[in-house]
Structure 1
Amino acid sequence: MATRRIQRTEESRRLLVAAAAELFAEKGYRQTSFVDIADEAGISRGSIPWHFGNKLGLLQAVLDDQLHAVLTAFDEQAGDPLDQVMDFVRLPAARLFITLLAEAVEDGSPIREQYARLHAALRQGVQARIPAEALPAGTSAEAFTVLLVGAVIGVHAQWRVAPEAVDLDAVRSLLERMIDA
């Protein structure tokens, strides 16, 4: 009996995180309500504070889940670390990260701290996966990672707005040439 209750609790939590991720990516953090999330998940809205405490707690669970998915995708994909980072543009998490970034940069944003932690963890994850020999001579890993993650996020934002105007393969090729220069 207890095992079934634990499984239902874990499933409810998973459904809420998935629904919140989708809605935060679509509408943003501020425009998404507990009712929206509960309706999308098919679960009582009272479940959200029970599982996460508040909306920021749910956001943190979503960001942790999405960061884990991104870093796992990097680890599971063989090949050039730069290719792995550039492929981030096509991951579902990228849409969420871009949508939340637009809110996080505003003065007084309630999600700024969570986004800053996410961004730091993403940079650390990327940095750990790029070998030192792949860096341009005289470049610090920290500076390179900040530039690379910023470029990829910017490319994704442009691709979301006008996908027909962004040739991802050409961008990847240009970035590789810039790094090799």
Structure 2
Amino acid sequence: MVTRRIERTQESRRLLVTAAAELFAEKGYRQTSFIDIAEKAGISRGSIPWHFGSKLGLLEAVVDDQLKAVLSGFPPRPGDPLDQITGFIRLPAARLFITLLAEAVEVGSPIREHYARLHAALREEVLARIPAAALPPGTTPEAFAALMVGAVIGVHAQWRVAPESVDLDSVQAALRTLLPAGLGHV
């Protein structure tokens, strides 16, 4: 039986993760303070270390939460893998991942390891959707997965910066033209 206290604790945690995700996507990890997160969530800032231990612990909870949302948002594996992979561009969580990328590439960044795990999970998802037999000779599935994740992240960043200049449907059509025919509708 779930008590009212447990429900309140779970709700506080959810509100903090949601607020932090929005603020990290908008301002970045370093520029977001406990005060910002607490105000947005409507919860005491002392709740953050109580729930997560630190700001980095909160970031980990945000990345885990958003990654689960992204992966659950992908349709089941049968179908067009290119549509499924490029669909990531339109997901709200993609903005958070792009904003964090700028900080993650810095040497000594506290979020670098978390971001590396995020990329690994996205590459694994691509690998699960692409049949190795459909790839051109000499192309490893791992290299292809890295290429697709990089392409999707790069296109997403361009679209966020200048949405009027990047037509996502045209980009997807171009990818379909450039990629091996066997990648569609597996």
TM-score by length of 1: 0.94
- In 1, Cα distance between equivalents of 2:77 and 2:160: 23
- In 2, Cα distance between equivalents of 1:39 and 1:76: 38
Q: How far off its partner does 1:113 sit?
A: 1.0
The CA deviation string for residues 25-82 of structure 1, in whole angstroms up to 9 with x for no partner, is 0000000000100111111111110110001100000000111111111135873111
What letter is aligned with 2:131?
P
Equivalent residue for 2:159? 159
The CA deviation string for residues 117-144 of structure 1, in whole angstroms up to 9 with x for no partner, is 1111121122212233443344211100
- Worse-matched range after superposition: 114-123 or 38-47: 114-123
Equivalent residue for 2:68? 68
Equivalent residue for 2:110? 110
The answer as to whether partners of 2:12 and 2:43 remain within 8 angstroms in 1 is yes
The answer as to whether partners of 1:23 and 1:37 remain within 8 angstroms in 2 is yes
- In 1, Cα distance between equivalents of 2:86 and 2:153: 9
Supply the RMSD in Å over aligned alpha carbons: 1.7
Which residues of structure 1 form unaligned runs of 5+? none
Equivalent residue for 2:35? 35
What letter is aligned with 2:60?
Q
Q: How far off its partner does 1:2 sit?
A: 6.1
Equivalent residue for 1:20? 20
TM-score by length of 2: 0.91
Structure having the larger proportion of residues in helix: 1
Q: How far off its partner does 1:169 sit?
A: 1.0
The CA deviation string for residues 72-119 of structure 1, in whole angstroms up to 9 with x for no partner, is 111358731110111111101110000000111112211111111111
- In 2, Cα distance between equivalents of 1:57 and 1:93: 18
Equivalent residue for 2:46? 46
Q: CA distance change for structure 1 residues 170 and 2 in 2, over 3 Å: closer, same or farther?
A: closer
- In 2, Cα distance between equivalents of 1:4 and 1:77: 39
Asked whether 1:121 is paired with 2:117, we answer: no
- In 2, Cα distance between equivalents of 1:151 and 1:64: 22
The answer as to whether partners of 1:136 and 1:179 remain within 8 angstroms in 2 is no
